[in-house]
């Protein structure tokens, strides 16, 4: 599904990713953990195509195709989805209209006609029920005045609507209380299949109790310094990140 | 009979001011001089002759120069009647609702495109109102009673003859909106138009008016329009202005709104282009518990220029005013917002709000924005705020990461930015139409109505 080879990326001439190698196969859940400033969010943004970052070396392949030159929207059309750590507030655009536009633009890119209105409504109803989202919420301006939990739930709602091949969840657990965390995690688990893949970026192990990863990677100073299975996450939770820093530094 | 314009044998081109002043005699010979309006016109041409066109030396015109607009050799009287087929201009009408229509083509009334009425209300022509005795009382009481004596309004007053005349007697809710449309066809190599509108809405009555200026030609057109609106006790007047989108057309709109107690008046101005657009919008609150709303959306590019010059004069206590202007400027477009709020000493408990928010899409675009509050009462709530910024890049990435292409994402953000102005448009068909005009302008099809 996703293959990243020797990826170096910088922002304003400051190197942040310094040789990332990662392979994610269909049906897998990968967790990327690491201390603050290790490059986790940068990796997510670079995969999603944020233009502020300069890819200096290496390549990102999605189903064998190099996506380096693709714009963010083209990557989205190919099935990449990024759940934002800080979803952006867009006053004046309702959640429903935003989703309609996103879905129909994606369909347009694939040469399909707009989704019929009744089908769209049905889908919106289904997916919002799954995430226990109040219908009134859908006519509100996107993310404007939403609580932290509402914002994250709305991200997963968008994921459910867009049905991506590769979903990257960037710190989706931050700002969530335990109930919201459970709802969000259940949503993600329901969307998981053998044909798609999920990358969970998180600082803490907590979310991984609900979304159980097949692999855990530790990012430090722009590189993946350790990979393992879900037990690695527990170890990190117990011991913190210092031992890894020492191990790498040695 | 067509009016002859003065010829100057020595100079090839006369200065526009001189041309207008010397045209006045010819104009007066044509119209009925045996009316009180005659004196008003004579007075007005004198004022214009003394003051001349405003220049950048005038504080109120510091950022808007008329020079490039005044240099053309305009025909100042419409010569011939021009026939246009409805199907060719249908798109400029709000045609999906039943409405009254007053249509002018190159300044001449077009009866076959219009639908006027005298059934309980008067929706007709200024020229008839000025000449027929049955309108004399209204003309005497209201004509030129709101317009100021500035040079451009005076110029219009001097040549006031044609335009819309709307009188709604008391206790009438006019169900159908009234559309007033001004087309220019390019029949003249350069044309100056001076429409004069009078709108009198009596006690408890309600009317909705849509005014549109549309040039159909690349020939230069300069419109210097004056509209006087009187909202009497508890009247509700909603006025929508849709302004030119032709690069060759310029518009100076002088609108004066006088409100009596408990009346509500709103003016929404949608400016989507034109070489130069200047909106002089003045509200006078002459009673208590009055509500005034002034809103506008400006979306321009190229070298277009839109200037909003507003005034709200709070004279009596317990009144409100709401101003909200949004501007989006691309290419080398320039904008001006100058919003004055005067609060008299007597006007206690005034609530006056003013906001002017702008987005600059290019380094060459610019906006000069200046709130001007003069408050002499001590128990008031007045606020103002202006912002100038770019489109939010993080919002752009967010939308694009959901599969919305750059152009559509930009458009959606611009819609969102103008949304609270569009939101207060009460006629859904107008809102839809304006949404469509904006979408066309941005080159997108969003596939939904906001």
Query: Which pLDDT band holds residue B81 (cuts at 50, 70, 90)?
Result: low
Question: How distant is the Cα of A88 from the closest Cα of chain B, in angstroms?
Answer: 6
Distant-in-sequence, close-in-space partners of A96: CB < 8 Å, separation ≥ 6: A124, A138, A139
Please state the rounded mean pLDDT for residues B51-64.
Answer: 93
Residue A233's domain spans which residues? 2-249
* CATH number (domain holding residue A183): 3.40.50.300
pLDDT in tens, B345-380: 999 999 999 999 999 999 999 999 999 999 999 999
The answer on pLDDT for A96 being more than 50 is yes
Task: Give, in order, the Cα–Cα distances in Å from A210 to each of A63, A149, A198.
Answer: 27, 16, 13
Is A92–B419 a contact, with Cβ atoms under 8 angstroms apart? yes
Please state the rounded mean pLDDT for residues B280-305.
Answer: 96
Query: Which pLDDT band holds residue B431 (cuts at 50, 70, 90)?
Result: confident
Candidates A51, A101, A141; nearest CB to B404: A101
The answer on pLDDT for A164 being more than 70 is yes
The strand pair at B249-259 and B178-184 is best described as: unpaired
Lowest mean pLDDT among A26-40, A89-103, B29-43, B240-254: B29-43
Distant-in-sequence, close-in-space partners of A237: CB < 8 Å, separation ≥ 6: A204, A205
The pLDDT, as a whole number, for residue B450 is: 42
The answer on pLDDT for B52 being more than 60 is yes
| Nearest by Cα to B184 from B222, B148, B215, B150 | B215
The answer on pLDDT for B13 being more than 60 is no
Question: What's the ipTM?
Answer: 0.95
Query: Which pLDDT band holds residue B1 (cuts at 50, 70, 90)?
Result: very low
Is B395–A162 a contact, with Cβ atoms under 8 angstroms apart? no
Kindly tell me the sign of the dihedral angle through the C-alpha atoms of A129, A131, A137, A139: negative
Nearest CA in chain B to A141: B416
Lowest mean pLDDT among B12-21, B245-254, B287-296: B12-21
**Which of A74, A88, A96 has the highest number of chain B CBs within 10 A, making it the mutation to test binding with B?**
A88
Is B397–A71 a contact, with Cβ atoms under 8 angstroms apart? no
The answer on pLDDT for B222 being more than 90 is yes
Is A90–B413 a contact, with Cβ atoms under 8 angstroms apart? yes
pLDDT in tens, B401-426: 999 999 999 988 988 888 889 888 98
The helix/strand/coil state of B120 is: coil
Q: Other CB atoms closer than 10 Å to residue B146's CB: what's the count?
A: 20
The pLDDT, as a whole number, for residue B449 is: 47
Report the length, in residues, of chain A. Answer: 250
- Mark B50-88 as b/e (b = at least 16 C-beta within 10 Å): ebebbeeeeeebebbebeebbebbbbbbbbeebebeeee
pLDDT in tens, B299-343: 999 999 999 999 999 999 999 999 999 999 999 999 999 999 999
| pTM attached to this predicted model | 0.86
**Which of B402, B407, B438 has the highest number of chain A CBs within 10 A, making it the mutation to test binding with A?**
B402
Q: Who has greater pLDDT, A130 or B241? A: B241
Number of domains forming the structure of chain A: 1
Query: Which pLDDT band holds residue B220 (cuts at 50, 70, 90)?
Result: very high
Query: Which pLDDT band holds residue B169 (cuts at 50, 70, 90)?
Result: very high
Lowest mean pLDDT among A71-80, A181-190, B302-311, B410-419: B410-419
The pLDDT, as a whole number, for residue A239 is: 87
């Amino acid at each position: 599904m996703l293959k990243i080879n020797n990826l170096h990326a910088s922002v304003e001439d400051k190197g942040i990713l310094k040789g990332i190698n990662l392979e994610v196969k269909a049906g897998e859940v990968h967790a990327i953990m690491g201390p603050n400033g290790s490059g986790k969010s940068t990796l997510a943004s670079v995969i999603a195509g944020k233009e502020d970052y300069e890819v200096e070396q290496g390549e990102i392949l999605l189903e064998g195709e190099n996506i380096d030159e693709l714009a963010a929207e083209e990557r989205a059309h190919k099935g990449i989805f990024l759940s934002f750590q800080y979803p952006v507030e867009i006053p004046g655009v309702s959640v429903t209209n935003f989703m309609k536009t996103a879905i129909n633009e994606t369909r347009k890119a694939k040469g399909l006609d707009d989704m019929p209105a009744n089908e769209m409504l049905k889908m919106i109803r289904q997916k919002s029920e799954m995430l226990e989202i109040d219908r009134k919420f859908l006519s509100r301006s996107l993310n404007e005045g939403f609580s932290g939990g509402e914002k994250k739930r709305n991200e997963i709602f968008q994921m459910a609507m867009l049905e991506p091949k590769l979903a990257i969840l960037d710190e989706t657990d931050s700002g969530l209380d335990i109930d919201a965390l459970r709802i969000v995690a259940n949503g993600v688990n329901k969307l998981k299949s053998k044909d798609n893949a999920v990358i969970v970026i998180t600082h803490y192990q907590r979310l991984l109790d609900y979304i159980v990863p097949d692999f855990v990677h530790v990012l430090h100073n722009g590189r993946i310094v350790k990979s393992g299975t879900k037990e690695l996450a527990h170890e990190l939770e117990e011991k913190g990140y210092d031992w890894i820093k020492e191990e790498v530094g040695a | 009979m067509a009016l002859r314009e003065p010829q100057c044998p020595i100079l090839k081109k006369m200065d526009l001011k001189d041309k207008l002043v010397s045209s006045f005699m010819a104009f007066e010979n044509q119209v009925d001089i045996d009316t009180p309006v005659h004196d008003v016109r004579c007075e007005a041409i004198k004022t214009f002759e003394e003051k001349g066109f405003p220049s950048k030396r005038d504080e109120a015109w510091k950022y808007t120069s008329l020079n490039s607009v005044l240099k053309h050799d305009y025909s100042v009287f419409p010569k011939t009647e021009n026939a246009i087929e409805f199907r060719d201009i249908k798109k400029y009408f709000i045609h999906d609702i039943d409405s009254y229509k007053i249509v002018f083509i190159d300044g001449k009334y077009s009866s076959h495109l219009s639908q006027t009425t005298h059934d309980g209300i008067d929706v007709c022509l200024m020229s008839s109102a000025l000449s027929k005795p049955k309108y004399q009382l209204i003309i005497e009481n209201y004509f030129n009673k709101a317009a100021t004596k500035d040079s451009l309004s005076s110029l219009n007053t001097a040549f006031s003859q044609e335009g819309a005349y709307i009188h709604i007697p008391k206790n009438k809710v006019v169900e159908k909106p009234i559309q007033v449309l001004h087309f220019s066809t390019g029949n003249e190599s350069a044309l100056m138009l001076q429409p004069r509108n009078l709108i009198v809405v009596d006690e408890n009555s309600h009317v909705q008016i849509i005014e549109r200026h549309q040039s159909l030609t690349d020939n230069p057109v300069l419109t210097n329009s004056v509209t006087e609106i009187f909202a009497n006790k508890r009247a509700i007047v909603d006025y929508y202005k849709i302004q030119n989108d032709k690069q060759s057309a310029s518009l100076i709109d002088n609108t004066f709104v006088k409100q009596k107690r408990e009346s509500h008046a709103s003016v929404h101005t949608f400016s989507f282009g034109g070489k130069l657009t200047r909106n002089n919008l003045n509200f006078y609150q002459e009673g208590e518990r009055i509500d005034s709303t002034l809103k506008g959306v400006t979306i321009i590019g190229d070298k277009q220029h839109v200037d909003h010059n507003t005034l709200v004069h709070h004279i009596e206590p317990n009144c409100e005013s709401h101003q909200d202007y949004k501007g989006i400027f691309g290419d080398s477009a320039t904008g001006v917002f100058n919003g004055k709020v005067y609060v008299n000493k007597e006007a206690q408990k005034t609530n006056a709000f003013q906001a002017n928010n702008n987005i600059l899409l290019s380094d060459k675009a610019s906006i000069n924005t200046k709130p001007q509050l003069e408050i002499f009462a001590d128990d008031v709530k007045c606020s103002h705020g202006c912002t100038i910024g770019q489109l939010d890049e993080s919002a752009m990435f967010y939308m694009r990461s959901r599969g919305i292409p750059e152009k559509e994402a930009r458009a959606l953000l611009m819609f969102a930015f103008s949304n609270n102005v569009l939101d207060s448009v009460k006629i859904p068909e107008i809102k839809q139409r304006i949404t469509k005009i904006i979408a066309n302008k941005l080159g997108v099809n969003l596939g939904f109505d906001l």
